[in-house]
Amino acid sequence: MATARVMTYCSYSLFYLHLSITLNQRPYASKVPGIPQITHFNLQTLEYKFQFTNYPQGTHPFSSVSVSPEVEVYIPNYHYKQLHLDIRVSDGDWRYVRSRQTLYWRVKDWTTEGIEHSLRIRIVDNNDKQQGMGNWTVDVWNNWGPKVGMVVIVIFISIFLGIFVGENCNDWIMSKWGRQGPVLLM
């Protein structure tokens, strides 16, 4: 009984650990030179939207800075490592450093009160790629290679068992049951 409780506890713990890792691995804005308005992450489509407005006049903490401060957005490799991203910003320029899992976005007007800035990150569908055909063989192999490999292995094992074991299997069953004819297993 004690082992059943330990096994149940361990399986629940692993489930909740996986769940917490999955839920905590989402994009988020870690540094924002304004007031966040909207942040939304869709786990099914992996689309992330973020919107913020500039600080009101006189309350801007970066008023003495001549260079526009950057927005830093964490983009976790847990979801996005092997995917092509479509990153759209309302204004300014951005750079994505995949090794740091960070998008750096510098907006144009960060001093005028009430200006709204928005960001959208989506997964690029293979049909939407701007690169044309690109290296489609690598994409096909990465997506379908493991599945095709498993099918080939199952077919090979089925053929092997049918050719080499099939006849011997019938003889073995007959020798164990000690009679000829069909064997009814109930």
Dump pLDDT digits (tens) for 47-58.
999 999 988 876
CB atoms < 10 A from the CB of 48, how many?
24
Residue 5 buriedness (CB in 10 A; 0-12 / 13-18 / 19+): exposed
For residue 19, tell me if it sits in a domain.
Answer: no
For residue 9, tell me if it sits in a domain.
Answer: no
Amino acid at site 179: R
Q: Based on the structure, what is the number of domains in the chain?
A: 2
For residue 95, tell me if it sits in a domain.
Answer: yes
Q: Do 53 and 123 sit in the same domain of this protein?
A: yes
Last residue of a domain, one of 128, 143, 167: 128
Q: Do 43 and 124 sit in the same domain of this protein?
A: yes
User: Which tokens go with 178?
Assistant: 């000690």
Structural domain boundaries enclosing 169: 135-178
Question: What pLDDT does residue 8 have?
Answer: 45
Neighbouring residues of 88: CB distance < 8 A, sequence distance ≥ 6: 119, 120, 121, 122
Question: What pLDDT does residue 3 have?
Answer: 44
For residue 4, tell me if it sits in a domain.
Answer: no
The single residue listed with the structure tokens 């293979």 is 126
Q: Do 29 and 107 sit in the same domain of this protein?
A: yes
What's the Rg (C-alpha) of the chain?
A: 29
For residue 16, tell me if it sits in a domain.
Answer: no
Q: Do 114 and 140 sit in the same domain of this protein?
A: no
For residue 15, tell me if it sits in a domain.
Answer: no
Residue 25 pLDDT class (50, 70, 90 cuts): confident
